[in-house]
Amino acid sequence: MASVAGEAVSKLRTISTPAREVARWYEQHPDAMYLPVELEVLRGQKLISSDQVSAIVFTGPPPNSNHTQRGAGWCRKHGIEEHIPYDPQQKNAPRFLFADIERVIISMLPANFPLADQKNNLKYSEVLCLTRLNELAEAWGTYRGVIVLPDTGYIQNQLSGTRTTHSIFDRFGCCELDGSPMQITTHQFRHFLNTVAQMGGL
C-alpha cells in the first residue's frame, strides 16, 4: 500500500509540474501574463493577431486546427474588442491589443493568489496537486497561464461528467462490462481504498 501511495504522489508531482512552474512565474511577475520562452517576443508588441492570441492562451492546437477562429472567438467570449476593424482581405492581421489579452488572463488567476492556503501560508507553487485550467478536459483546450487548484467538485466532475463535460472514463473509452457508462464518486473511491488497505492488513 505504501508503494501505491508513493507512486500516486510521484505522478501527482509530475502532472502538476507545469502548473507549479506557472505559479512560480506569477509570484515573481504578478502584473504580467505568463508566456513561454518561445512567445516572449510578443510581449513587446502592441497589437497581436488572432493566431497569436490562440498561441498565447492555449498550449495546443484547436480541434479544427483553426488558430485564427479560436483566437478571435476567445476574444469575443471575453469581451475583447478589435482595436483595428476586421478586414476580409487580411484575416489574420494584428488587431487585438496585447494589453487586453494580458488583463483578462491575469484576472482569471485565483483571487487569493499567491496563497493557496492562507492559514498555513502555503503558496500555489508549493501544493501537491495543481493544474492549468482545462488540463483535465483537453477538448476545451489547456490554458498556458491560468492555474486551478482542483477541489472535490472539480475531481467529481472528471469522474462522473456533467451535461457539458465527458467523464475521464468516457474520454478514454472505458465502460462497464454491459456497455453502460462507468461512473464513480470520490466517496466511493475512499471506501475502495479503505477496503484495499484493510485487506492489506493496515
pLDDT tens digits for 55-114?
999 998 888 889 989 999 999 999 999 998 877 777 778 899 999 999 999 999 998 999
Q: Check residues 162 and 125 and name the one with the higher pLDDT.
A: 125
pTM exceeds 0.85 for this model: no
Give the domain ranges of the chain.
Answer: 2-150
Per-residue buried b or exposed e for 128-155, using 16+ beta carbons within 10 Å of the residue's own CB: eebbbbbbbbeeebbbbbbbbbbeeeeb
Mean pLDDT of 112-141: 90
Summarize pLDDT for 154-179 with one digit per residue, the tens: 788 878 878 777 787 887 788 888 98
Q: What local confidence, expressed as pLDDT, does residue 168 receive? A: 78
